[in-house]
Amino acid sequence: MTYQTFYSPPRYRKYFKARPAQDANGVPVGHADVDAGFFPAGFDEFAKSAAGALSKMKIEEIIEQLDLVSGKFLDRGYDKRLRAVDAISKLTGFSGPAVERCIDLEFGSSRAPGMRAALKNEFGDYGALDGFVYDEKLKGSFRVVPNAPVFAVCSSNIPALPHLSIMRSFLTKNPLILKTSMAEPVFAPLYMEAFLESGLPLAECAIVLCYNRCEEGLTERLIAGSRTVIAYGGPAAAGYFSKKVAPPKKLIMHPHKLGFGIIGKDFTRDIAPGGLAALAKSVVFDTVTFEQRACLAPHIYFYDESGNVPAGDFAAALLREFEIAEKQVPPAVLSAEKSYARRVYLESAAFSPAVKKVFSTGGLRSAVILAYPAEFFISPLDRVLHVVVYREKEEVLKLIAPYAKYLQNVSLNVPSADVPGWLETLADLGVSRICRAGAMPSPSMMWHHDGLRPLSEMVRFCDLEGAAS
């Protein structure tokens, strides 16, 4: 059965010309070209109509619809989930169990309570999305107004990630046009089809497109018609969108960033029997989930040996957990070139005076590189974790400071007394999320991704002050 790489509410399908299915890594995908007539008539009609539909829906209705679809994707027997797992695995190389885990994590944090918490966190009384609500602090009322429509450009590094842009758009009552990655164009259409098949009104509120990035003309027209642009991507994408999206349009850029972990002095001193294995298991969970292809995963764990087991023992414990993880969630299948580059990286590491020892599982499927604090080691990804042994906090700071603008998630594992000092330092450096080992891949919906309030960035506020009310 062909996987469509586009989605449109039925009444706009006349603006898309389907092409014959093509094979992409064994997945039959059906692309569609945007008809010239879509601009401006079709686009404007969609934006206006979808905005009207969202405006009429109460925010609680939207939450219920989103929750219903999240629940479907958490059902392991749901046909669209099964199809998504199969296709994403073939397209991206992620193993089937890895894709399943990603879907479980993504949608597990996308349930109604999480959505309400995120809305409350950002807006307080989120009824303001439905109309003016009283605010005691303001001694008046305020209203949250969508900055619509939204154009989102998604990446393929995390399976099922595109749903987040769709969900955030709907939670802020924004109609959305989403461009998927050519490397993984199937999930977003499947997600929207789930609304359609369930007869949910939100099915009318998004269009999903897939086209080559060299079609800049199309991107520029979509930017021109939008008020909010969400983009994931590397330096080239960041440079492009920062030039093309000028105020009053809003750009929410999610550039490439990275994560790391810290296991501080004395952290394992009073650890219970089996605690070391549990800690190693958590670190491996951080590393294996997303195969390190996200800023939610660590390149390095900094490890202070003082008051802890020797780093070599910790590395050995990690290796045991990697072996277990390989059976549960097999590593991704890499292209020949990537496989070669990763292996060459591991073989070359042995020649670095900064490397103490390279530990690896059979066939180099997972590896731990035990190293001195000589540099901030950037992993070639796919289960290559550096454990950098340090003695003083300053050694860590010296290594991470040059990468400040790339820092995102940190797994901080230090005794309670040492936490405050680290928190302030990491926050100052630009880290946007700090958690414990094992929690890196599963931020809450309230996370300030890239230090931003993701929902607030997509709306405008209108205040009605006391006297006027």
Contact status: 18 vs other proteins (CB under 8 A):
no
Comparing CB distances to other proteins, the nearer of 116 and 338 is: 338
Question: Shortest Cβ distance from residue 262 to other proteins (Å)?
Answer: 23
How far separated are the first and last CA of the chain, in Å rounded? 58
Q: Is the distance from CB of 96 to CB of 89 less than 8 angstroms?
A: yes
* CA separation for the pair 211, 84 (Å, rounded): 19
Name the residue among 263, 285, 226, 343 with its Cα closest to residue 98. Answer: 285
Site for other proteins in 39-98 (CB under 8 A): none
H helical segments located in 213-310: 216-224, 235-244, 275-288
In the complex, what is the shortest distance from the CB of residue 391 to other proteins, in angstroms, rounded to a whole number?
22
Q: Does 214 bind other proteins (CB under 8 A)?
A: no
Residue 152 is a binding residue for other proteins (CB under 8 A): no
CB of 336 to other proteins, least distance (A): 4
Residue with smaller CB distance to other proteins, 278 or 355 = 355
149/205 Cα distance (integer angstroms): 10
CB of 355 to other proteins, least distance (A): 8
Minimum CB separation of residue 240 from other proteins in Å reads: 19
**176/192 Cα distance (integer angstroms):** 11
Among 49, 55, 121, 339, binds other proteins (CB under 8 A): 339
C-beta of 102 vs 319, nearer to other proteins: 319
Q: Is the peptide bond before 248 cis (omega within 30 degrees of 0)?
A: yes
- H and E: helices and strands count for the chain: 14, 20
Closest CB 295 distance from other proteins, rounded Å: 17
Nearest-5° Cα angle at 234, 228 to 239: 60
Per-residue binding string, other proteins, 291-330, x by CB under 8 A, is ----------------------------------------
Binders of other proteins in range 267-286 (CB under 8 A): none
Closer to other proteins at the Cβ: 25 or 348?
348
Report the DSSP pairing between strands 298-304 and 384-390: parallel
Element (H, E) at 259: strand 258-263
Enter the tokens of residue 326. Answer: 């390989």
**Which residue, 271 or 355, has its beta carbon nearer to other proteins?**
355
Nearer to other proteins, 55 or 352 (CB): 352
The residue range among 48-56, 225-233, 262-270, 334-342 that interacts with other proteins, by the rule CB under 8 A, is 334-342
For other proteins, the binding residues in 345-404 under the rule CB under 8 A are 345, 347-353, 355, 358, 378
Near other proteins by CB under 8 A: residue from 236, 272, 336, 467 = 336
Q: Among residues 23, 136, 270, 337, which is the contact residue for other proteins, using CB under 8 A?
A: 337
CB atoms within 10 A of CB 292: 24
Query: Shortest distance, CB of residue 165 to other proteins, whole angstroms?
Result: 27
Tell me how far apart the alpha carbons of residues 342 and 384 are, in angstroms, rounded to a whole number: 9
Structure tokens at 210: 């897939």
Shortest Å, Cβ 201 to other proteins? 44
Measured from the CB of residue 345, what is the shortest distance to other proteins in angstroms?
Answer: 7
SS3 sequence of 22-69: EEECCEEEECEEECHHHCCHHHHHHHHHHHHHHHHCCHHHHHHHHHHH
Residues of this chain that bind other proteins (CB under 8 A):
336-341, 343-345, 347-353, 355, 358, 378
